[in-house]
Amino acid sequence: MVRGKLKVPPKKENKALEPTERHVTLSNVLIRAAQGLSLSEKRIMSACISQLDSRRRPDPYKPLTVKLHAHDYAETFGVHPDTAYDELQSAAKVLRDRLIRYENPKASKHTRIVEMRWVGRVTYAKGEGWLELAFWHEVVPHLVMLREKFTTYRLSQAAGLRSLYSWRMLELLMQFKSTGLLRIPIEQFWDAVEAPASCRKDFFNLRNRVIDPAVKELKEKDGLKIEWDRVKEGRKVVGLEFRFTRDPQGALDL
Q: 16-157 adopts what CATH topology?
A: Arc Repressor Mutant, subunit A (1.10.10)
> Which residue, among 138, 217, 171, has the nearest Cα to 31 in the 3D structure?
171
3-state secondary structure the chain: CCCCCCCCCCCCCCHHHCHHHCEEEEEHHHHHCECCCCHHHHHHHHHHHCCCCCCCCCCCCCCCEEEEEHHHHHHHHCCCHHHHHHHHHHHHHHHHHCEEEEECCCCCCCCCEEEEECEEEEEEECCCCEEEEEECCCCHHHCCCCCCCEEEEEHHHHHCCCCHHHHHHHHHHHCCCCCCEEEEEHHHHHHHHCCCHHHHHCHHHHHHHHHHHHHHHHHHHHCEEEEEEEEEECCEEEEEEEEEEECCCCCCCC
Rounded CA-CA distance 137/62 in Å is 10
Letter for the amino acid at 44?
I
What percentage of the chain exceeds 70 in pLDDT?
A: 87
pLDDT at 106: 65
Mean pLDDT of 148-155: 95
Domains 16-157 and 161-248 share a fold: yes
pLDDT at 3: 46
> Which residue, among 218, 225, 214, has the nearest Cα to 248 in the 3D structure?
225
**For 228-249, how does the pLDDT look when each residue is reduced to its tens digit (9 = 90+)?**
999 999 999 999 999 999 876 6
> Which residue, among 44, 39, 46, 43, has the nearest Cα to 194 in the 3D structure?
39
The pTM for the full model equals 0.86
The ranges assigned to domains in the chain are 16-157, 161-248
pLDDT at 21: 80
> Which residue, among 168, 100, 193, 171, has the nearest Cα to 139 in the 3D structure?
100
For the cut 90, the answer to whether the pLDDT of residue 94 exceeds it is yes
For the cut 50, the answer to whether the pLDDT of residue 186 exceeds it is yes
CATH class of the 161-248 domain in this structure: mainly alpha
Q: Name the burial class of residue 55, with classes exposed (0-12), middle (13-18) and buried (19+) by CB atoms within 10 angstroms of its CB.
A: exposed
- Per the document, the length of the chain is 254
State the average pLDDT for the chain.
89
Rounded CA-CA distance 152/150 in Å is 7
**For 12-44, how does the pLDDT look when each residue is reduced to its tens digit (9 = 90+)?**
444 434 545 899 999 999 999 999 999 999 999
> Dihedrals φ, ψ of 115, to 5°?
-125, 130
Mean pLDDT of 35-55: 95
> Which residue, among 217, 224, 230, 229, has the nearest Cα to 244 in the 3D structure?
224
Q: Count CB neighbours of 43 within 10 A.
A: 25
